[in-house]
Structure 1
Amino acid sequence: MIHLVTAENAAAYHELMEQAFRLRHAVFVDELGWHDLKREDGRDVDQFDDGRALHMLYVENGRVLGYQRMLPSLRPHLLSDVLRHLCDGDLPVGPQIWEWTRYCVAPGCRDRGRMLSPVGNMLLSAIVEWGLESGVSEIIIEMNPIWLLRLVQLHFRVTPLGIPQKVGKDDVVAVTAAFDRRTLNRLREMRGDEREVIVSRPISTRRLLA
């Protein structure tokens, strides 16, 4: 299930976060060719992995099989500071808008064709569950354009911010994706399970904006 990790509870998740950083490196550096992120220790850690980041970990039998990071748009984030060229106009900013980055799933647990994997479904469900309880209703995403239709089918309302451009080995487009209760219902319908996917969280994530 999904664990939410911030600076508040990070000490209890040291080993799992180390797994997450290595999974990130394996996916984004070794597979996708984002060589600017390459580190000798095999850990993908950047300037945004600070006290303002919200990490979401899918953990099964002590192993991190899926990961994603959320960053508040009111503070520096990937689109504002690294990939600004992907946004043709003004940056989307507001307390209700967070950036979804570093989504990655371990080999063997990934999507098959158009089918969203159980791990992928739970990670997306965690964003919507957390967002609905935290006053967040929109996410910024830098992604392969192939995801556009999939997000619409999952009942996200997607708006491109620019045209696709090459990042590493991939074409990447920046979008905003708004969601609401209907999005969560759709994800649960596809999963065949009405239960919440978040099983552990810090007391509050609102202080990440403080």
Structure 2
Amino acid sequence: MIHIVSPDNHHLYEELMEQAYRLRHRVFVEEKKWMDLAKPDGREIDQFDNEHAIHMLYIDGGKVLGYQRMLPSTRPHLLSDVLPHLCEDVLPIGEHIWEWTRYCVEPAHRERGRTLSPVANTLLSGIVEWGLESGVETIIIQMNPLWLLRLVQLHFRVMPLGLPQQVGGEDVVAVTASFDRRTLARLQEMRGDRQRVLAEPEKPVHRLAS
């Protein structure tokens, strides 16, 4: 299941968010060698992990196996403040546009070949379910150009914002990817079920007065 962590419920996920930050560090610093992100405590946290960020955690058995972060395009985000050179046109901004960042999956749960792993499919399905329920229909992504065809095959409508450029030693292209219920249906078809992937929000416990 995908759990959505926001400022309203962050206190319920403190230990799991610690796992998420350490997963980010293992993937982006130790694997990808993005040493600018290295932290002595092994937790990858940046200036965008603030009160405007939405964190999505794939949790199984109390373990965070996958993670992604959503940032509103109406606030500072990676494309606007860190990688503006990837956008050769007008910066996409709107309440219905959010940026998808820091996607990562534990190595043992990643895809092999062209097929999305169950964790990857569930993370993408979580974005689409959340977007359809929240009025978000487009995401900004900075990604390897090899992902372009895969997203189209998943029924995202993808529009490059510029040409690929070298970032952190690899080719990266910025795109917008729009989605609708057909995208969700395609992901469900590939997954083999139509079950909702977003967990129900955690409810606060009300203690009876003694």
- The letter for the 1-side match of 2:127 is I
Name the CA shift for 1:202/1:172 in 2 (closer, same or farther; >3 Å). farther
What whole-Å deviation, never above 9, does each CA across 1:117-163 have from its counterpart, x for those lacking one? 00000000000000001100000000111110000000000000011
Structure 1 residue aligned with 2:207: none
Name the CA shift for 1:202/1:49 in 2 (closer, same or farther; >3 Å). farther
Name the CA shift for 1:85/1:133 in 2 (closer, same or farther; >3 Å). same
- Cα distance, 1:194 vs. partner? 0.4
Are the aligned partners of 1:122 and 1:197 in contact in 2 as well (CA < 8 Å)? Answer: yes
Identity of counterpart residues, as a percentage? 68
Structure with bigger gyration radius: 2
Q: TM-score, normalised by structure 1?
A: 0.95
Unaligned 5+ segments in structure 2 are 204-210
Q: What RMSD, in angstroms, separates the aligned Cα atoms of the two structures?
A: 1.0
Structure 2 residue aligned with 1:206: none
State the number of aligned residues.
Answer: 203
Pairing of 1:94-109 with structure 2 (within 5 A) = 94-109=94-109
Structure 2 residue aligned with 1:154: 154
Are the aligned partners of 1:34 and 1:167 in contact in 2 as well (CA < 8 Å)? Answer: no
Pairing of 1:67-82 with structure 2 (within 5 A) = 67-82=67-82
- Cα distance, 1:30 vs. partner? 1.2
Structure 2 residue aligned with 1:62: 62
Give, in whole Å, the separation in 2 of the partners of 1:79 and 1:97: 12
Q: TM-score, normalised by structure 2?
A: 0.95
Pairing of 1:76-155 with structure 2 (within 5 A) = 76-155=76-155
Structure 1 SS opposite 2:51 = coil
Unaligned 5+ segments in structure 1 are 204-210
